[in-house]
Structure 1
C-alpha cells in the first residue's frame, strides 16, 4: 500500500491595520479559518512585509493609516511591477467609492461574515485539481 501525503495549502493574507485590537481579532478569525496571516501597522510596513512574502493571495488594507496611508500603499502597489497580480481589498469606515487598484471595500467595523466572504473569494484553500486524479477517482468537486 502506498501512502500519499497531500500538502495543505494555507494561503497567506497580508493584513494592514493600525488598531491592535482590530488587527488581532481579524487575524485570529482568519487563522481559525486556516489562513496564514502576515500583519503590518501602516502602509510603509505593509510594503516592506509584502516584499518579503512569497505571494499573498490577498492584501487587506485600512485606508486610514498613519505614516503611509492605505491609499498611498495601493497607489505604490499599482506602480510597482513586482505587485502586478496583487489582489487588494480596502477597509474604510467612511462611505465612498472603491479606490482605484482595489477590488472591493469592506466597511468598518468589518463584520466577520463579510471578512470571511471576501477572503474566501480571493484565497482558495485547495490546490488546483489534477484532471488525471479527478478522472481516475470519478470524483468531481
Structure 2
C-alpha cells in the first residue's frame, strides 16, 4: 500500500493583523515564510508543517472538518489575494494538483490538474482519445 505524498505552499500576501495571523498559523500547524526583501509592510507565505505535506482539513482541537480557504480569508488584507497550491502523488498511480485563490471577502477560485482533460477536449475535439494519467 502506497502513501499519498504532497507538497504545498502559498504565495506571499499581507494580512490585517500579523500577530493574530501568527497565532492562527500555530493552531493549524502552518509554517510561515517571509520574503528576503521585506518592505515596510510584512508579507507572509504559508506551508503545512505536517508530515503529509497537505493543507489541513480538520480543526486540531475539535477534529471537525474545515475549509482552510474559508479559515484564511478573514485574515487577509483586502488588497491581496492568497494563492494556495498543492501537488501530490501516490507512487505513480496518480498525480494531483490544485491551486486556489482566496480573497479577503471569502470568494475563491480553484483550478486543478484534472482540468486539462476538459481543456484538451475543448481545444482538440471531443472525438479524440484522451486517457487519464492514473494507474
Q: With structure 1 as the length reference, what TM-score do the two structures score? A: 0.28
Q: Which has the higher strand share?
A: 2
When normalised by structure 2's length, the TM-score is 0.29
